Amino acid sequence: MKAAGVKAIKDELKMRSREDLMELCLNLSKFKKENKELITYLLFEAGDENYFIQGIKDEIDAEFDEVNRKSYYYVKKSIRKILRNTKKNIRYSKKKQTEIELLLFFCKKLKTFTPPISKSVPLTKVFEREMERIQKSILSLDPDLQYDYGLEVESIQKD
């Protein structure tokens, strides 16, 4: 089956009743965990972005505490999984400020992580890539926020 385009789906949704739309959303949430997470974000957390950000930061903290530190191979896999989950949550929000906040938090945790990431080239590259992504995202914000986040980026890179 070939998926319909966004315009066709939008046109079809306009013609459906309120009950049909609710049923479609509930069916959509049954098929994939990501769909359910997105609907949860849109319904319960989109109104309070700071609460959402704090929740994700708590998840990142917990995931960093659970990292298997026996070898850099396992550390690398765990760090990439944490980053993948973080980016998934960033996609739900679609706000640059949320993206920057979460990636800065991730990079701070990664920078202070033990064993140090400086002994692992792949982990160092992950850190550098995310710092570049943060700097590119900062450019799309207004000048006041650019300055504030710029100071945070500098403090992370100095340590």
In the prediction, which pLDDT does 6 show?
A: 86
Residue 43: pLDDT band by 50, 70, 90 thresholds?
confident
In the prediction, which pLDDT does 130 show?
A: 95
pLDDT of 59-91, one tens digit each? 999 999 999 999 999 999 999 999 999 999 999
The residue with tokens 């064993």 is 115
With 80 as the cut, is the pLDDT of residue 49 above it?
yes
Asked whether the beta carbons of 96 and 137 are under 8 A apart, the reply is yes
Residue-averaged pLDDT of the chain: 91
Residue 13: pLDDT band by 50, 70, 90 thresholds?
confident
Burial class (CB in 10 A: 0-12, 13-18, 19+), 79: buried
With 90 as the cut, is the pLDDT of residue 131 above it?
yes
Residue 116, preceding bond cis, omega within 30 degrees? Answer: no
AA identity, residue 142 = D
With 90 as the cut, is the pLDDT of residue 127 above it?
yes
With 90 as the cut, is the pLDDT of residue 29 above it?
no
In the prediction, which pLDDT does 86 show?
A: 95
pTM metric for this prediction: 0.86
In the prediction, which pLDDT does 81 show?
A: 96
